[in-house]
Amino acid sequence: MIFDDVRNIALAWPEVEDGTSYGTPALKVRKKMLVRLKEDGDTLVMPGVPPDERDMLVESQPKVFFFTDHYRDYPMVLIRLSMAKRATIESNLCCGGNGRRSPRRPRARRSRRHNAAPALRRSNSSCPVLLFSPASTS
């Protein structure tokens, strides 16, 4: 994979936009970094991955996931794009970190009459699914 592949995957989601971070290409959701490309052009920095989850990823796929001493104390994982498969990137962009990095659907508008907020439910996967109740008309 290359960063353009990651960009094509992520830009299909709502609220994801191109940006930069530390002078390198990045993808952002509501001005918060989803991922960024490191200066070497092959390493993806993915924030929002708790250390225990990061350790599990590194242990299960050490050729793909890793971190350096610089990132040891931060909730981030590094990904070697040249070793990663599309499915791995998609699942970790969308669902890694218990969905903290994933773009949400736009919030439902609250009616002044009906103060109902959307319900957040978990599916069988680790990705949260936002379920909207149909607006009642009266």
Dump the DSSP string for 27-59. EEETTEEEEEE-TTSSEEEEE---HHHHHHHHH
pTM of the model: 0.69
Q: What is the pLDDT of residue 57?
A: 95
CATH of domain 3-99: 3.90.1150.30
Average pLDDT over residues 10-27: 94
Which residues on neighbouring strands pair with residue 25, listed in sequence order?
20
Percentage of the chain lying above the pLDDT 70 cut? 68
Q: Where are the beta strands (DSSP E) in the chain?
A: 16-21, 24-29, 32-37, 43-47, 65-66, 76-80, 119-122, 128-131
Q: How do residues 75-124 score in pLDDT, each as one tens digit?
A: 999 999 999 999 999 988 875 433 444 444 444 444 444 444 443 333 33
